[in-house]
Structure 1
């Protein structure tokens, strides 16, 4: 099996809409799925108009997941609340991710996605000092994937949840650039 990456394009929006409608993805991403909402939220990245990067994870050329990568300094509205509960050093980056294809879950692909994007981050961003990922405390699958990918829990604290049904408690994971 061959694992590859491809940047999201506007042609991917119908597929992303489907993925965002999948119950487990909806539970944790809580994203609007209208064509307009997907275009509004993914379009600027797809067109290179904002620093956030959206990537499709492909297995044997078939997309199965999505990962977003960003530099915290580009998004102070996320960095500043996080900095109240843990250090967010210059160069810190973040990931957000999901395995969309339900038939692909439980095979370790989420862990592999996180590992490979972390390695890609070190290569693509020489100034990246670490990757920090806050996760809703109730999203055990997500934080277990981070642990299996080599991240370490560094903090817990209240952050605005992505889904308003969740309490604000988040667990925060970090991996530092290898020496």
Structure 2
């Protein structure tokens, strides 16, 4: 299991990522109850639900790799990646490329929205994922009504592909290809 921090220096901030730990789950649970999270991630889960779902990923990160995003060493967001092919639960059932990674993320504090931090977090995490030569492209699936997220992904080098039906409802499939000119960190 990954234990070292992966750091990427941006012009005015220092971003890093570390694997989510069991000790982080109360903090993550509190973040997930915030209005800017529940607006797009759905109703706030109980702490027991967070411990069950995320605890399973911590114990076995082969399906989902959960991370805490750090800004100047302080937790400021959550980000996860997963292999899209075979992800189960009705997700990406037609995907046949084992190199496709999916990502999901959110910033913890609503006061940090609309400052470019989400874009920098996504760019840095995409660079981390593309460091693996087996990763062919990265996808994400925001709600089509979530203009802020869509704009963030576009600035990070993602292209809107098409609307898709997911187990969570309608989504906009967005893809970032290796070497995208918008993502110079690759």
Please state which band the TM-score falls in when normalised by the shorter chain. 0.7 to 0.9
For the pair 1:41 / 2:53, whether they are aligned, the reply is yes
| Partner residue in 2 for 1:165 | none
1:129 aligns with 2:136: yes
Alignment of 1:13-28 (within 5 A): 13-28=25-40
Are the equivalent residues in 2 in contact too, given 1:137–1:169 (CA < 8 A)?
yes
Please, which runs of 5 or more residues in structure 1 have no aligned partner?
162-167
Conserved? CA contact 1:79–1:88, under 8 Å: no
The answer to whether the Cα contact below 8 Å between 2:91 and 2:166 also exists between their aligned partners in 1 is no
CA contact (8 A) 1:93 1:131 kept: yes
Deviations 1:126-159 (A, max 9, x none): 2110011122111111111100101111112333
Q: Which runs of 4+ in 1 moved over 4 A?
A: none
1:1-179 aligned within 5 A: 1-48=13-60, 50-76=62-88, 77-80=90-93, 83=94, 89-123=97-131, 125-161=132-168, 168-178=169-179
Q: Are the aligned partners of 2:91 and 2:167 in contact in 1 as well (CA < 8 Å)? A: no
Aligned residues of 1:150 and 1:175 also touching (Cα < 8 A): yes
Q: CA RMSD in A?
A: 1.8
| TM-score normalised by L of structure 2 | 0.83
Cα separation, 1, equivalents of 2:25 and 2:85: 27
Q: How many residues align?
A: 167
Q: 1:8 to 1:31 in 2, by over 3 A?
A: farther
d(CA) in 2 for partners of 1:52 and 1:158?
A: 21
